[in-house]
Amino acid sequence: MCGILAVLGCADDTQGKRVRVLELSRRLKHRGPDWSGMHQVGDCYLSHQRLAIIDPASGDQPLYNEDKSIVVTVNGEIYNHEQLRAQLSSHTFRTGSDCEVIAHLYEEHGENFIDMLDGVFSFVLLDTRDNSFIAARDAIGVTPLYIGWGIDGSVWISSEMKGLNDDCEHFEIFPPGHLYSSKQGGFKRWYNPPWFSEVIPSVPYDPLALRKAFEKAVVKRLMTDVPFGVLLSGGLDSSLVAAVTVRHLAGTKAAKRWGTKLHSFCVGLEGSPDLKAAKEVANYLGTMHHEFTFTVQVASMSSSMLHLLTIPD
For the chain, list the domains and their CATH numbers: 3-194 (3.60.20.10), 207-308 (3.40.50.620)
Query: What residues are annotated to the active site?
Result: 2
Q: What are the Cα distances from residue 209, in Å, to 200, 213, 214?
A: 18, 6, 9
**At a CB cut-off of 8 Å and minimum separation 6, what does 130 contact?**
none
Nearest to 1 by CA among 77, 58, 101: 77
* 284, containing H or E segment: helix 273-285
**b/e sequence 161-189, b meaning 16+ C-beta within 10 Å:** bbbbeebbeebeebebbbbbbbeeeebee
Local confidence pLDDT in tens for the 313 residues of the chain: 788 999 999 988 889 988 998 888 888 888 877 767 889 999 999 998 867 666 666 557 789 999 999 999 999 999 999 999 999 999 999 998 999 999 999 999 999 999 999 999 999 999 999 999 999 999 999 999 999 999 999 999 999 999 898 989 999 999 999 999 999 999 999 998 877 777 766 778 899 999 999 999 999 999 888 889 999 999 999 999 999 999 999 888 878 888 889 999 999 988 999 999 999 999 999 999 999 998 766 656 655 565 566 655 4
Query: What pTM value is reported for the model?
Result: 0.87
